[in-house]
Amino acid sequence: MPFDSLSLSEPIQRAIREMGYEEPTPIQAQAIPLVLEGRDVIGSAQTGTGKTAAFGLPILTRMGGHGALRCLILEPTRELAGQVDAAFRQFAKYTDLRICLLHGGVGYGPQRQALADGTDIVIATPGRLIDHLEQGTFHLKSIEYLILDEVDRMLDMGFLPDVRRIAGYCPAKKQVLFFTATLPPEIERLAAWTLRDPATIEIGLRRSPAETVRHAFYPVAMDQKFELLLALLDALHYESVLIFTRTKMAADRISERLIAHNHPVAVLHSDRSQAERTEALAGFKSGKFEVMVATDLASRGLDIAGITHVINFDVPESPDDYIHRIGRTGRAEAEGDALTIITADDLRAIHAIEHAVGKRIPRQKVENFPYHYTTLLEDRPIPKSATRPKFGRKRR
Ligand code: AMP
């Protein structure tokens, strides 16, 4: 089905033609007619499925041209907000609609000015938006379209009360688009409160990264993890590799050590300034840095094309985090590799991951690496008692 059968406005069609979009993705084919009709929508599509255009193109078509502030989009992280802002600017290129990005970590002045100059669309993270609302910089009384994106991530980050408050500042009559991968009770309550007679868009339209990615575990003794990482980087033919650590401190430490070994790396975690985060991401996307070291901040939602390898320097805290991390490679059905360095301490976590991806992940060795002894290298069958899913965190 071509895009021109979907009743999108001419300026929008022109922009997406220029962007090289030829056919709508499945979520776009489903969502665009519903959104154009004015329906509320609840969708569980993940980033990477064309979700941004699925809501962006019909909303921009409905909005037409410059007027009052009518559209509010909430995103859980600055990076996602920035990504949606960039996509919207491309989609709206041939309209006179104005877009304003509001997130923390940067000064208030330019944001206040952009609001004062008049904007049609605000894309924001909840905290900074509330700051502006409390300071009286602007109000949400003219909102006609409210998009709550990655709501489950907002829940994880403790933003749900803010989201509810913000939705409460909008007029009762509005079109709401609500995206979440899971529906735990808190989110179901929020959905019941914000949505009116929503149409549901199906999940599972993209093959899960668990299927499209090649997985491997690399067992090693604890004191050789970094050495093994270096050996892996030497052995791999990568174009770009994203290395995940569990903590910000580990991310900093690993990147310093990699730099000392002449690997140009970018670092992304939440203690870095907004300028540093933007520079890291831009440098990684442009290929200036072939390696980026990140905490789980980067594991959800970011659309970075062409990551050939994900290396988990630390085994992620939960199988969900594993799925999100490896989802950064193998995007849009392209194949990618996910390598996880494991130690004897990680036994339970790795069996929980295998349970979540539904298969046994092969243990591999790096050729000619001077391995110290670790029992994991013996690759024994998995004892039944170790397959219980995981410590602490609830599985979703
Ligand atoms: P998203 O799920 O919105 O993060 O989109 C994932 C990627 O797919 C982005 O790089 C989009 O530019 C791209 N994309 C979205 N829709 C289409 C389409 N219909 N044709 C080609 N590329 C698309």
Residue-wise pLDDT for 48-64, tens only, equals 778 999 999 999 999 99
Task: Return the DSSP state at 108.
Answer: S
Residue 2 CA to ligand 1 center (angstroms) comes to 15
pTM above 0.85, yes or no: no
Task: Return the DSSP state at 363.
Answer: B
Per the prediction, the chain carries an average pLDDT of: 87
Selecting from 3.40.1280.10, 3.30.160.250, 3.40.50.720, 3.40.50.300, what CATH number does the domain 213-386 have?
A: 3.40.50.300
Q: For ligand 1, is residue 24 a contact (CB within 6 Å)?
A: yes
Pull the structure tokens for residue 111: 């944001």
Q: Which atom of ligand 1 is nearest to the CA of 52?
A: 3
* Residue 264: strand, helix, or coil: coil
Q: For ligand 1, is residue 174 a contact (CB within 6 Å)?
A: no
CA-proximal residue: ligand 1, atom 18 (nearest): 21
Q: Which atom of ligand 1 is nearest to the CA of 23?
A: 19
Nearest CA to 170 among 192, 195, 135?
195
Per the listing, tokens 């009762």 go with 172
Q: For ligand 1, is residue 21 a contact (CB within 6 Å)?
A: yes
Nearest CA to 52 among 367, 270, 393, 303?
303
List where CATH 3.40.50.300 sits in the chain: 3-203, 213-386
Length of the chain: 396
Residues paired with 311 in a beta bridge: 243, 339
* Confidence at residue 394, expressed as pLDDT on a 0 to 100 scale: 35
Residue 53 CA to ligand 1 center (angstroms) comes to 7
Q: How far is CA 159 from CA 69, 101, 152, 179, 373, in A?
A: 23, 18, 10, 15, 45
The CA distance from 375 to 370, in Å, is 15
* Confidence at residue 176, expressed as pLDDT on a 0 to 100 scale: 98
Below-50 pLDDT ranges, the chain = 204-207, 381-396
**Among 303, 304, 307, 331, residue to substitute to test ligand 1 (most atoms within 8 Å of Cβ):** 303
Pull the structure tokens for residue 216: 């491997």
* Confidence at residue 373, expressed as pLDDT on a 0 to 100 scale: 75
Residue 93 CA to ligand 1 center (angstroms) comes to 16
Q: For ligand 1, is residue 206 a contact (CB within 6 Å)?
A: no
Residue 48 CA to ligand 1 center (angstroms) comes to 7
Cβ contact 213:283 at 8 Å: no
H-helix segments, the chain: 10-18, 26-37, 51-63, 78-91, 109-117, 126-134, 151-156, 160-169, 185-194, 209-212, 225-235, 248-260, 274-286, 319-326, 347-357
How far, rounded to the nearest angstrom, does the alpha carbon of residue 311 sit from its chain's CA centroid? 17
The CA distance from 303 to 84, in Å, is 10
* Confidence at residue 72, expressed as pLDDT on a 0 to 100 scale: 98
Say yes or no: domain 3-203 is CATH 3.40.50.300.
yes
Residue 29 CA to ligand 1 center (angstroms) comes to 13
Q: Which atom of ligand 1 is nearest to the CA of 22?
A: 20
Task: Report the run of H or E that residue 340 belongs to, with start and end.
Answer: strand 336-342
CB-based contacts of 307, cutoff 8 Å, min separation 6: 240, 241, 242, 328, 329, 331, 336
CA-proximal residue: ligand 1, atom 11 (nearest): 50
Q: For ligand 1, is residue 51 a contact (CB within 6 Å)?
A: yes
In sequence order, what DSSP letters do the residues of 22-88 get, joined into one string? -S--HHHHHHHHHHHHT--EEE-PPTTSSHHHHHHHHHHHHH-SS-S--EEEE-SSHHHHHHHHHHH
